[in-house]
Copies of this chain bind each other. A is one copy, B any other.
């Protein structure tokens, strides 16, 4: 490890933000990162207010991300921020991300990658050109049991994959919350801030990413049914997608914001020719592996659990039965990002497990998913070919 914490500058995350606090907690948890600067709101007053609440010196709180990049660049190397965390609504992802990279700052970006697929391609290009680190916070791939699932499949425990069910049922948009002052609902249902999709962009992409991540498969075509259930909306609040993968497997993806009474229980089931597995956020520390002719097995998270893969072990903190949750999964993204960054700085080779955080390709594929799903939903043809 280096001799100092990494310094983070945050873009977005001012009053009323949910995900900003999640990023800050996750970054702080493991003692590797300190919040050093911020442009928390496009309203300078609000930005300063948030800075004060976070104990930041006023001089490191900025009225805009442009200002932040400008000023921070001029600080001595050991004082200035090392990377930015961008936690704004979707339409304010591309610009700060590209500018940060061009200013020499590594980037952690909330998903989806950008507002449009075109932007995503350009951002990916910038990442490649600058050679800087880029992490896209597809939270669910940070869970230790998701890592274990990926490991088991890669190791051949399930045999060739045949079927994937992935679902993300939420109920919070069961009514027109966007007509109250609920900020989270407002921007997600607004095409100007959210993009061409709401439900599929916000949570469908998570499900899509999780399925490809765990299975190691790539989507080749899809057939989507998108719905606008609550009156007055212009973007989807519900949908289902039939999928085909590059090894011939098929899949079903379900995402909804009107599954009344549902919370955030993203769940995946993968079935192979030798075994099946099942994971869901509500039992995040448990992974069920099902065998055709032997008792199912309950894999569990825990630093003291001898059978876990390094992939899982590098992404947990507590012994079995002391549950880790969403914030720890999120923190795993930050910790792996930070460990990789430290290693690179010290000229060391990062452990392969540290390199396992979502990046540009995940982001591109996610944006492509949104594009294709919307296209398919409008089409009378059954299958739409999926291609980058």
Contacts and interface: CB of A to CB of B under 8 A. Distances in A.
Interface string A240-253: 10100000001010
Given A171-B292, A225-B223, A297-B297, A326 B323 contact: yes
Interface residues of A, number: 94
A349 interface: no
Interface in A296-348: 296-300, 302-304, 306-307, 317-328
A295 B290 contact: no
Majority SS of interface residues in chain A? loop
Contact of A297 (B174, B225, B229, B295): B295
Contacts of A158: 260
A372 interface: no
A162 B24 CA distance: 37
Interface in A177-223: 223
Interface of A: 1, 3-5, 18, 21-22, 24-25, 28-31, 35, 52-55, 158, 162-163, 165, 167, 169-172, 174-175, 223, 225, 227, 229, 238, 240, 242, 250, 252, 254, 256, 258-265, 269, 271-276, 281-282, 284-285, 288-300, 302-304, 306-307, 317-328, 379-383
Given A18-B319, A162-B238, A296-B297, 15 more contacts: A28-B30, A31-B54, A171-B276, A174-B273, A225-B242, A260-B271, A260-B272, A260-B273, A262-B276, A263-B321, A263-B322, A293-B307, A294-B307, A295-B298, A324-B327
